Amino acid sequence: MNDLAQQRTTIHSYEDRYLRFRTKAGFAFRSEIGGLIPNGWTTIEQAEWMASVAAISDDDLLLDIGAGRGWPGSLIAKETGARLVSVDVPLEALRQGAKDLCETLGPRVLQVCGDGRVLPIGDAHFSAVCQADVLC
C-alpha cells in the first residue's frame, strides 16, 4: 500500500473507531485529567511515569505521534513544561482535541496534520518522542 492509500485507511479507521467514541468513561477520564478525551488506553499513571522519565523541561520540544485528540502528550507537556507538537493523520482527530489542548497548554502546543512516517518537520527539533497505541 502506498503512503496516500495508507493515510486514507488511517482516516477511515479513525472515523469508524473513534469519531463516536464519547462514552461516559471517556468523559469521566476527561474530568479527572482536566483535559481531553483520549482514544487510546494509556492510563494517567502511565502518562505520569512517561513524564517522570522523559528528562525534558521548558527548553524542549516533545513530539507526540498518532496523538489523536492529544493524549498522552498533553499530560507529559503539562507536567514537564515542554512544548508539544501533536501529530495525527485525520484532521478531525486534531479538531476534536484543539480546544482542550489549547486550554491546557496555550501557545505551547502546535497540532500538525501529518503522517508520522513522513513528518514535514525535521527530527532535530525534538528532544523526545512519544506514541501511544499507534502500532496496534
Ligand X SMILES: C[S@@+](CC[C@H](N)C(=O)[O-])C[C@H]1O[C@@H](n2cnc3c(N)ncnc32)[C@H](O)[C@@H]1O
- The binding site for ligand X (CB under 6 A) comprises 10, 14, 38-40, 42, 65-68, 71, 87-90, 93, 115-117, 132-134
Please report how close the Cβ of residue 135 comes to ligand X at its closest, in angstroms.
8
Which residue's CB is nearer to ligand X, number 59 or number 110?
110
What Cα–Cα distance (Å) separates residue 109 from each residue in 16, 74, 78, 99? 27, 8, 10, 11
Q: Any residues with CB less than 8 A from the CB of 117 and at least 6 apart, and which?
A: 3
**DSSP, residue by residue, 46-95:** HHHHHHHHS---TT-EEEEET-TTTTTHHHHHHHH--EEEEEES-HHHHH
Does residue 38 have a cis peptide bond before it, meaning omega lies within 30 degrees of 0? Answer: no
Please report how close the Cβ of residue 26 comes to ligand X at its closest, in angstroms.
10
Please report how close the Cβ of residue 97 comes to ligand X at its closest, in angstroms.
9
Please report how close the Cβ of residue 25 comes to ligand X at its closest, in angstroms.
13
Which residue's CB is nearer to ligand X, number 56 or number 65?
65
Which residue's CB is nearer to ligand X, number 40 or number 59?
40
CA distance 35 to 5: 32
Which residue's CB is nearer to ligand X, number 56 or number 93?
93
For ligand X, which residue has the nearest CB?
40
